[in-house]
Structure formats: C-alpha cells, structure tokens
Amino acid sequence: MKKQILALFMTAVMAGSLTACGSSAADATTAAATEAATTAAETTEAATTAADTAAQSKEETTAEESKAADSGAAGGVLVMATNAEFPPYEYHDGGEIVGIDVEVAGAIAEKLGMTLEIEDIAFDSIIPELQSGKADIGAAGMTVSEDRLKNVDFSDTYTTASQVIIVKEDSDITGPDDLAGKYIGVQLGTTGDIYASDYEAEGSTIERYNKGFEAVQAMLQGKIDAVVIDVEPAKVFVSQNEGIKILDEALTVEEYAIAVKKGNTELLEKINKALGELKESGELQAIIDKYISAE
Amino acid sequence: MIDKFSADFYQNFIEDDRWKYIVDGLGNTIKITFFAVLVGILLGFLVAVVRSTYEKTGKLKLLDLLCKVYLTVIRGTPVLIQLMIIYFVVFGSVRIDKVLVSVLAFGINSGAYVAEIFRSGIMSIDNGQFEAGRSLGFSYPQTMFYIIMPQAFKNVLPALGNEFIVLLKETSVAGYIAVQDLTKGADIIRSRTYSAFMPLMAAAVIYLVMVMIFTYFVQRLERRLRNSDH
C-alpha cells in the first residue's frame, strides 16, 4: 500500500514538472494528471491530494505563461533583464542597480505608465529570459547583431558604442592589426568576445573571463596582452588603474538597442515611441551625459 | 519538431564549427582531471602516511601538524576560491598555463580528501596484521608497504573512485579563470547561439558518459582485487 501511494505521488510530481516544457507538453500533462487523479481516487485520499496539488500547480503555471506571452507588459510591471556588471550602463552602486540602461528603461516605463522591475542575471541568459517570457525587455548595453536578431527583436538604437582595445602603456600593440597572435582577454558572450574571436584564425588566443574586470586584472598581471571591451566600461577601467590605456583606433563601432521577445511588436512600438520622445526632449542625452563625462 | 531539433543541432554544433568548443573543452577537462588525480594521489598518499605514522608510533609530530593544517584549510574552503587564489594571487604577476594552474588547484584540493580516504584505509587494517609483520622481522616501512597498504588499498577503492568522480565534475568550475574546459565550451556556444538546451545537454551527457566509463573500470578493478579473498 505504502509503495502504491509513493508511486502515485511520484507520478503526480513528474506530471507537474512536465509543465515547464511549453504548450505541447501541457496537453500530455493534463492527461497524465487526470490519469493520476483517477487512479488515486480508487486507492487513497492522500494520493488524490498529491495529484490535485500537481494539477493545480500546472494550471497556475499555464496561467502565468499565457499572461507573460500576452503583450508582455500587461501587468503594469515592466521586467527588465540586465547584467549589472557593465559600468556605466548598469552596475551596482550602494545596494542599488544604476546606470544608463536602467535610467533609460525607467524613463520608458514611466512613459508607458508602468513600474520598472530589474532582474540582474548573467549576460548570456538575458535572451533566453526574454524568449521564455520571464522578462519583458533586455537592456544591457546590447548590440544589434545578426545572430541576436534571429532570437529577439530590437528597438531603435538609443546610443552608439565601440569596442576598444585596452593595453598596457608600454605595449607594442598599436592597433587592431597587431592583435594577431596575441593573448586577448574578453568577457564571455559580449560583442568584444565575438569580434575578438575572429582573431583566433590568425593565431590569437582568446581568454573568456566571466567578468570584464577579471580580464583587465589578468592583463595588469601580465597574463594577457590586450583586453577588447566596450568603450564606456573601458574608460572606467582605465581611469581606475594606472599604466593602461585605450588605443585610439577602435576595433568596431556599434549601436545599442533594447531587446524584446521576438514577435512582440506591440511592446516594441511602444518602446520606440517612448524612445523617440525621450530623444526629442533631450532627456536621453541628459541621462547619457550624467554617466559619461563628455570629452 | 524534428526540423526544429535538427535546426537547433545545426546552429549549436555545426555552424561556424562550434563543436570544436566542446571537443577542445573535453580535451582540457580530461587533461586537468587526469593530472589532478595524479597530484591528488601523490599528496594524499604522503599526508596519509605521515598522519597514520604519527597515530601509530607518535613520530613525525611536526609534519603531522603541518598535514593537519593543510587538511583543515583545504577542506574548509571552496575549491573555486582556492582556484582563484592560485591564479590571481599566488601566480599574481606571471603568465602561466591555466591548465597547469587548474591541475595544481584541483590536485591540491583532491589530495586532502584522498589523504583522509587513505588514512581510513590504513586505520581499518587490524593492528594484529601490523604486529605480525613486525614480529616477522619487517621494519616499519616494510610492514606498511608490503602488508598494510595492499589490504588498505582494496578497502578504500570504492571511496577513492567516488572521490575521482567528484573531482571530474568539480573541474567544471575551471572556467572561472578562463580555462576552456567542457563546461566553458558549452558556455561559449550558449553565448553565441543563445540557446541553452543543446550545449548544456551535450556537456551533461559527456560528463555522464565519462563517469560511467570510469565507474566501469573501477568496478572491474574491484572484482580483480577481490579474487584473492578466497
């Protein structure tokens, strides 16, 4: 008897866990849950409760999913996924996440009459978060690229940035051409990583660190020759460390935009409209100037 | 369904030769694990001999104290912190092969656990065996190596196999110092294709298969050693 109850409970739990796999699995789950419930009714009440709980939790998940899949922002809360290790676009400051992206997203949310909620996750998890509907927008100094456009839609650009090369002051690297055959440090998954990886074909070794500052630290310790990273964080790194400089010739120049789930044009249009208003009123420039000292 | 699966497979492994990240990473993972196991066995063996000699005879007091400090520190701190300390602090200003750093970090870490496994094996052998050896004219080291160790090894083999399985999987944090191991390889693909399922599953399956192969050989060795039981 005991074994039967246990087996039923397991079936129910497993059925419940299936719901995470999307809509096609949900049908199978319903069937499994019903089956479990029927069998359970025949045997014990305890098992029925277990099956019920599973069925219930399944319904809740489905409800949540459909809500998120909706316009993505119907609840009055705009969830922004970011990776707050990328000054000055987003970083932790005294227990709070601040930065250009945070303020721009805040201003957009205000225009839309919504409250902004920030989710700080790994950079390479941002797009999966958008795809699964856990977040509405991704604002993390993201560059529009072909690969990313396959997976998400991008808003109009709100600022441009370039990938620059940081080297030690006495380095013999003077431009992108000198990177061939060198040890290049990057932050995993960033645009700098993608572009620097092209040099692998020319004999360079790309060292992919989890954080940008670790790459800079490794260069300061003489472990690598150069760091390829966005210009804004690069300026911060260079101002905080002595003996390193940014090369005048940038590796690439690119445009930053806000990412939304693919096909969510309703939200995208709203964001573009708000961005346009912010650009016109000069608010956008004010936010950028606040974090980046004009040269 | 099948179309999407094969499209995903193509994007994650075939396009831009992304499978190379997994293969290169697997190579590094195997390299790190293999040499870390060797370092771990060597260190663990030495520490276990020192510790059990002290417990049995009261000699080597100073060395025993050193070993105790080693065990306490290594077992008391996370391996990831140890790895980063070795990379960013101990080798703070030199260019050093990161696979070597990983071998050192994981080897030193594993050594602490292996030492305790070996010691438990040595202590598990009845003292009568030891006394018999001595009374037959064996010296202390001879008794250790010819009588105690072979029996102890057989006893600790399952625990030792377990430790190396843990070690193999623990090397997955090596990516923190930008070593491109199997996990990092999957992470790189994930950062390029933005899909989690394929690269993570591939890495998981490869780890699983490696552990299964290893377990098979440990079991065979166990069976071989048990032949002498009858």
**Domains of chain B, residue spans:** 2-229
Please indicate, yes or no, if residue A46 is contained in any of the structural domains.
yes
**Closest Cα in chain A, distance from residue B179 (Å):** 7
Please indicate, yes or no, if residue A223 is contained in any of the structural domains.
yes
- Provide the domain limits for residue A109: 77-160+255-291
**B199 preceded by a cis bond (ω within 30 of 0):** no
Q: Are residues A58 and A83 in the same domain?
A: no
Among all residues of chain B, which has the CA nearest to that of A195?
B192
Contact B87, B95 (CB under 8 A): no
Please indicate, yes or no, if residue A71 is contained in any of the structural domains.
no
Please indicate, yes or no, if residue A185 is contained in any of the structural domains.
yes
CATH for A233: 3.40.190.10
Mean pLDDT of chain B: 92
Contact A83, A121 (CB under 8 A): yes
Please indicate, yes or no, if residue A72 is contained in any of the structural domains.
no
pLDDT at A133 > cutoff 90: no
Please indicate, yes or no, if residue A68 is contained in any of the structural domains.
no
**Closest Cα in chain B, distance from residue A165 (Å):** 19
**Nearest one of A44, A139, A28, A33 to A82, comparing CA atoms:** A139
Model ipTM over 0.90: no
pLDDT at B155 > cutoff 80: yes
Phi/psi region, residue B51 (left: phi>0; alpha: psi -120 to 50; beta: rest), is alpha
Q: Are residues A249 and A122 in the same domain?
A: no
CA distances to A103, A255, A273, A281, B6 from A286, rounded to whole Å, are 10, 18, 18, 10, 48
pLDDT at A199 > cutoff 60: yes
Q: Are residues A284 and A154 in the same domain?
A: yes
Contact A92, A245 (CB under 8 A): no
Most confident range, picked from A65-74, A110-119, B186-195 = A110-119
Q: Are residues A106 and A132 in the same domain?
A: yes
Q: Are residues A92 and A237 in the same domain?
A: no
Q: Are residues A155 and A180 in the same domain?
A: no
In a 3-state reduction of DSSP, which class is residue B183?
helix
The DSSP secondary-structure symbol of A210 reads S
**Closest Cα in chain B, distance from residue A96 (Å):** 25
> Average pLDDT of A73-92?
81
pLDDT at A80 > cutoff 90: yes
Among all residues of chain A, which has the CA nearest to that of B195?
A128
Q: Are residues A151 and A278 in the same domain?
A: yes
Q: Are residues A107 and A242 in the same domain?
A: no
Q: Are residues A194 and A267 in the same domain?
A: no
Please enumerate in sequence order all residues whose Cβ is within 8 A of that of A77, keeping only pairs 6 or more positions apart, or say none. Answer: A114, A115, A116, A117
pTM: 0.65
- Cβ–Cβ below 8 Å for A193 and B178: no
Q: Are residues A49 and A88 in the same domain?
A: no
Tell whether B94 is within 8 A of chain A (Cβ).
yes
pLDDT band at B37 (very low <50, low <70, confident <90, very high): very high
Amino acid at B107: G
Helix (H) or strand (E) holding B51: helix B19-57
Number of structural domains chain A divides into: 3
- Most A CBs within 10 A among B12, B98, B191, hence the mutation to make, goes to B191
Amino acid at A291: Y
Q: Are residues A187 and A112 in the same domain?
A: no
- Cβ–Cβ below 8 Å for A208 and B94: no
Say which CATH superfamily domain B2-229 falls into: MetI-like (1.10.3720.10)
**Nearest one of A33, A119, A127 to A84, comparing CA atoms:** A119
Chain B residues 135-194 within an 8 A CB cutoff of chain A: 175-176, 178, 180, 184, 187-188, 190-194
Angstrom distance (rounded) from CA B174 to CA B103: 10
- Most B CBs within 10 A among A221, A224, A228, A262, hence the mutation to make, goes to A221
**Closest Cα in chain A, distance from residue B8 (Å):** 12
- Most A CBs within 10 A among B95, B194, B195, B197, hence the mutation to make, goes to B194
Contact A205, A180 (CB under 8 A): no
Q: Are residues A94 and A42 in the same domain?
A: no
Please indicate, yes or no, if residue A20 is contained in any of the structural domains.
yes
- Cβ–Cβ below 8 Å for B188 and A208: yes
Mean pLDDT of chain A: 79
A66 vs B200 pLDDT, higher one: B200
- What sign results for the dihedral spanned by CA atoms A179, A185, A188, A192? negative
Tell whether B5 is within 8 A of chain A (Cβ).
no
